[in-house]
A = this chain, B = another copy of it.
Amino acid sequence: MSEITKFAKSLKYDANGLIPVIVQDYKDNQVLMLAYMNSKAVELTLKTRKATFWSRSRKKFWVKGETSGNIQKVKEVSYDCDKDALLVKAVQVGGAACHTGYRSCFFTKISSAGKHTVCGKRVFNPKDIYK
């Protein structure tokens, strides 16, 4: 068994066999998105250096950017003290991680008064990408 397989098997997964993964921009540390990997996706990410998740809605492997071309080139992978979460630092090709065209999926702030504020601008128009 390879070291990577051993590592992937050593992580703590939830009842569905998934672990949450934070993707952060390698250069400026902006958090881009949160998605999930299963054990095989962890291995694939480390082997291919392309962020690869398990799509909970489509129930299949999801190489981020396979549709849009906006892949995430993996620079660093870290795990947390409990081994139940991963942090991936990546270069986001195309500049936007979110399917809505925003750089980060976390583009709306909520204040303590309940006010919603959209931050940032769209990098692309989703209609131009997903046809």
Question: Which A positions have Cβ atoms within 8 angstroms of B?
Answer: 2-4, 6-7, 15, 20, 22, 24, 28-31, 33-34, 46-47, 49, 76-82, 85, 87, 98-100, 102, 105-116, 119
Contact = CB atoms under 8 A, between A and B. Distances in A.
A66 to B, nearest CB: 18
Nearest to A24: B31
B20 A34 contact: yes
Given A20-B34, A28-B29, A34-B20, A78 B2 contact: no
Query: Which of A15, A30, A76, A115 is most buried by chain B, counting CB atoms within 10 A of its CB?
Result: A76
Copies per complex?
2
A54 B129 CA distance: 39
B114 A3 contact: yes
A106 B78 contact: yes
Contacts of A34: 20, 22, 80, 85
A47 B87 CA distance: 28
B82 A105 contact: yes
B78 A109 contact: yes
Contacts of A77: 109-110
A105 B105 CA distance: 22
